[in-house]
């Protein structure tokens, strides 16, 4: 009788099956195959294929063979290391590669292939892997190599034209108001990602007022063009490729919007960026034609929004987030620059506080990073050497490292990179039920539930629906039809969905809002799921106020048995 087991697939869980055979030594020898896990060698022989090695157990029980499998011992140890972002162990995430064991000599060799060379927990993984593997009694030495997943070139059909085909992630750093320190954040973020081990480039998209030539001082401060291909060769400073209109020579920058948009797009897409992990694009301020053209021409991975605590900046940043939402570019972080200063051990907020938290709450953005008012930050930019390069150990540079780690984590989660992506959020409109089906990670054991569209619409928290500072709702709920339905629902990174409604309204619904509506629902057990139309027409709710109807519908839908 032959029994097939795959150690990788079972993740260390083996059910011993005694077969009454006398014990004998287990032979381990190299073997590469993708065929059936068990092959008959003789009448009393079983062979277990674990991928890279074969365990041949002659006249031994399966239980004894699997327990004495040194490769499985190493994998079991590595399964105790959990990726904090994906929520799975590093073996399940597919990070463990080229595992080789020699128990006779006590040697183990393996490679940890992470999602990005700038992984913020790279050294944590290295330390944990060393500790867990060396804790195995027979292990005497460990050869551990840390690498990143190979670049996956993106074809022009997917939104990466020309010189951007080998750029893995493109990040937008934007603000809707000038003078908030956007370029300072963009440049220091780019060099922070480079310090984290990534290949990085930065593009200055501001033709009218390019900042990059002042903030970095490359040895060759002029862009060169290939006479045959007409491609732009980026200049380089401290290992980061840089392109700016300011490096194209002195000349008039008096151009109309369409001319500027075309010029910026041409410079961005024809530059020979080569293989990059991250390309940081420093957007010009505003939400006009240039920004729209860039987002429609290039498939951006994510956006970082820069603001200050002032009320006007808060209103503008909401516009920026909505612009990116309409263009299906997820915002992964908000930077509140010039947030405070410290004197004599106290922290002062000269421009007020609370706007950053308000943005996070309203839009469900995953990360908020505050930078203080410090002279060194602006002085470093004016001196042509970013602060994270000139003083990488100062407190402000450490805050930039925090920002860089946040961006890397969010982008890695959006790219999938592990089996955890299959457990990601799911939000879509079920036309048969007349309801929005919601399934969020960590929400009620990841169970799916239903929300009525009208309730979700009437709980919009944007500036169109709610006064930014008083919190009072603007307009009447009764003006929104009870039977309103969405025309499309698109994901926005790891934090929200973009919902376009049939009346033309566009809503950003954060996962936090979706979860809150679920928790506030009235519980009422039904024998089967009901549609909004049939419930709204029932005598008990037909004459009730619109808000009550909406709440009652949600209460019944949220706990209905899903068909």
Condensed to tens digits (0 to 9), the pLDDT of residues 8-31 reads 333 343 444 444 434 444 343 333
Residue 441 — pLDDT band, cuts 50, 70, 90?
low
In this structure, is residue 161 part of a structural domain? Answer: no
The CATH number covering residue 120 comes to 3.30.300.130
Question: Which pLDDT band, with edges at 50, 70 and 90, does 408 fall under?
Answer: very high
Average pLDDT over residues 195-206: 93
In angstroms, the CA 462 to CA 456 distance is 12
Q: In this structure, is residue 83 part of a structural domain?
A: yes
Is the confidence at residue 559, as pLDDT, over 60?
A: no
Q: Is 549 helix (H, G, I), strand (E, B) or coil?
A: helix
Phi-psi label, residue 344: left if phi above 0, alpha if psi -120 to 50, beta otherwise: left
Are 201 and 276 contacting, i.e. CB atoms less than 8 angstroms apart? Answer: yes
Residue 470: the pLDDT is 67
Residue 175: which of 337, 47, 31 has the closest Cα? Answer: 337
- Are 192 and 252 part of one and the same domain? yes
Domain endpoint, select from 395, 414, 433: 414
Question: How many angstroms separate the Cα of 83 from the Cα of each of 111, 120, 131, 559?
Answer: 16, 11, 16, 33
What's the CATH code of the domain at 191? 3.40.50.300
Helix axes 122-134, 70-78, angle to 10 degrees: 140
- Paired with 282 in beta bridges are 173, 204
DSSP symbol at 82: B
Helices of type H across 391-429: 395-414
Beta bridge partners of 45: 58
- Shared-domain flag, residues 39 and 130: yes
Collapsing DSSP to helix, strand or coil, 525 comes out as coil
- What is the per-residue pLDDT for 373? 92
Secondary structure letter of residue 200 according to DSSP: E
Identify the CATH number of the domain in which residue 445 sits: 3.30.2020.30
Residue 511 lies in domain: 424-558
- pLDDT tens column, 203-224: 998 887 788 999 999 988 888 8
Q: Is residue 140 domain-shared with residue 206, that is, in the same domain?
A: no
Residue 277, Cβ neighbours under 10 Å: how many? 22
- Asked, for residue 157, whether it belongs to a domain, the answer is no
Do residues 406 and 459 share a domain?
no
Give CA–CA dist 189/181, Å, rounded. 12
Question: What is the model's pLDDT at position 255?
Answer: 45
Residue 378 pLDDT > 60: yes
pLDDT of residue 536: 36
Domain boundary among 359, 379, 414: 414
Q: In a 10 Å sphere around its CB, with 0-12 CB exposed, 13-18 middle and 19+ buried, how is residue 187 labelled? A: buried
Q: How many helices (H) and strands (E) does the chain have?
A: 18, 24
- 477 versus 361: the higher-pLDDT residue is 477
Q: Which of 244-258, 304-318, 320-334, 401-415 has the lowest mean pLDDT?
A: 244-258
Highest mean pLDDT range out of 168-177, 359-368, 414-423? 168-177
Q: Same structural domain for residues 110 and 224?
A: no
**Percent of the chain clearing pLDDT 90 (strictly above):** 29
Write out the DSSP string of 352-385: -S-HHHHHHHHH--S-EEE----HHHHHHHHTTS
Q: What is the band of 463 on the pLDDT scale with cuts at 50, 70, 90?
A: low
Residues 231 and 297 in one domain: yes
Residue 156 reports pLDDT greater than 70:
no
Domain membership flag for residue 159: no
Q: Are residues 381 and 439 in the same domain?
A: no
Split into its structural domains, the chain has a count of 3
Same domain, 135 and 24: yes
- Same-domain status, 81 and 179: no
Predicted confidence (pLDDT) per residue in 234-259, tens digit: 999 999 999 998 887 655 444 444 56
How far is residue 494's CA from residue 410's CA, in Å, rounded to a whole number?
Answer: 7
**What is the DSSP secondary structure assignment for residue 493, as one 8-state letter?**
T
pTM: 0.66
Question: Tokens 């020579």 map to which residue?
Answer: 249
Query: What tokens were used for 314?
Result: 């808060």
Domain assignment of residue 282, yes or no: yes
Alpha-carbon distance of 181 to 304, in angstroms, equals 13
The answer to whether residue 154 sits within a structural domain is: no
> What pLDDT, on a 0 to 100 scale, did the predictor assign at position 50?
35
408 plus 490 within the same structural domain: no
- Same domain as 356, residue 317: yes
Same structural domain for residues 394 and 445?
A: no
Who has greater pLDDT, 212 or 363?
Answer: 212
Does a structural domain hold residue 96? yes
- The DSSP call for residue 171 is E
Domain end: 357, 388, 414, which one?
A: 414
CA–CA–CA angle 408, 510, 444 (5° rounding): 95
Helix, coil or strand: residue 313? helix
Taking residues 305-316, report their average pLDDT.
Answer: 80
The average confidence (pLDDT) of the chain is 75
Compute the average pLDDT of residues 482-508. Answer: 86
Give pLDDT tens digits for 267-289. 888 899 999 999 999 998 877 77
């Amino acid at each position: 009788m032959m029994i097939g087991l795959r150690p990788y697939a079972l993740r260390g869980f083996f059910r011993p099956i005694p077969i009454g055979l006398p014990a004998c030594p287990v032979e381990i020898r190299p073997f590469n195959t993708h065929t059936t896990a068990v092959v008959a060698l003789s009448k009393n022989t079983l062979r277990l294929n674990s991928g890279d090695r074969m365990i041949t157990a002659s006249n031994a029980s399966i239980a004894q063979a699997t327990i004495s499998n040194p490769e499985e011992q190493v994998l079991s140890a590595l399964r105790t290391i959990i990726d904090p972002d994906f929520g799975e162990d590093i073996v399940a995430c597919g990070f463990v590669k080229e595992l080789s064991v020699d128990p006779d000599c006590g040697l183990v060799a393996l490679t940890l292939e992470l999602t990005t060379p700038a992984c913020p927990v790279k050294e944590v993984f290295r330390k944990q892997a060393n500790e867990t593997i060396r804790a195995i009694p027979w292990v005497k030495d460990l050869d551990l190599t840390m690498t990143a997943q190979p670049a996956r070139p993106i074809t022009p059909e997917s939104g990466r034209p020309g010189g951007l085909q080998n750029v893995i992630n493109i990040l937008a750093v934007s603000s809707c108001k000038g003078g908030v320190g956007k370029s300072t954040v963009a440049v220091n973020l780019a060099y922070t990602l480079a310090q984290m081990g990534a290949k990085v480039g930065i593009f200055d998209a501001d033709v009218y007022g390019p900042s990059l030539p002042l903030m970095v001082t490359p040895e060759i401060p002029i862009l060169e063009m290939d006479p045959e291909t007409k491609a732009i060769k980026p200049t380089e400073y401290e290992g980061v490729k840089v392109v700016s209109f300011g490096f194209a020579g002195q000349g008039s920058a008096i151009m109309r919007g369409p001319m500027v948009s075309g010029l910026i797009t041409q410079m961005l897409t024809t530059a020979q960026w080569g293989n990059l992990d991250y390309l940081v694009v420093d957007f010009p301020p505003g939400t006009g034609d240039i920004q729209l053209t860039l987002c429609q021409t290039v498939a951006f991975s994510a956006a970082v929004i820069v603001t200050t605590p002032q009320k006007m900046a808060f209103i503008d940043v909401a516009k920026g987030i909505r612009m990116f939402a309409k263009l299906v570019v997820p915002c992964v972080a908000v930077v509140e620059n010039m947030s405070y200063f410290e004197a004599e051990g106290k922290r002062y907020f000269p421009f007020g506080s609370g706007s950053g938290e308000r943005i996070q709450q309203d839009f469900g953005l995953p990360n908020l990073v505050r930078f203080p008012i410090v002279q060194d930050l602006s002085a470093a930019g004016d001196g042509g050497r970013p602060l994270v390069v000139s003083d990488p150990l100062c407190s402000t540079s450490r805050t930039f490292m925090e920002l860089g780690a946040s961006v890397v984590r969010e982008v890695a989660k959006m790219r999938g990179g592990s089996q955890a992506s299959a457990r990601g959020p799911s939000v879509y409109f079920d036309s048969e039920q007349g309801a929005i089906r919601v399934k969020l990670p960590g929400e009620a054991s990841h169970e799916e539930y239903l929300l009525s569209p009208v309730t979700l619409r009437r709980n919009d928290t944007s500036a169109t629906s709610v006064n930014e500072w008083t919190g009072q709702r603007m307009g009447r709920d009764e003006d929104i039809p009870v039977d309103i339905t969405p025309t499309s629902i698109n994901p926005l990174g790891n934090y929200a969905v973009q919902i376009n409604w049939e009346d033309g309204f566009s809503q950003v619904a954060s996962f936090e809002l979706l979860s809150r509506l679920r928790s506030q629902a009235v519980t009422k057990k039904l024998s089967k799921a009901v549609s909004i139309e049939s419930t709204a027409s029932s005598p008990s709710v037909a004459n009730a106020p619109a808000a009550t109807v909406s709440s009652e519908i949600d209460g019944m839908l949220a706990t209905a048995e899903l068909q």
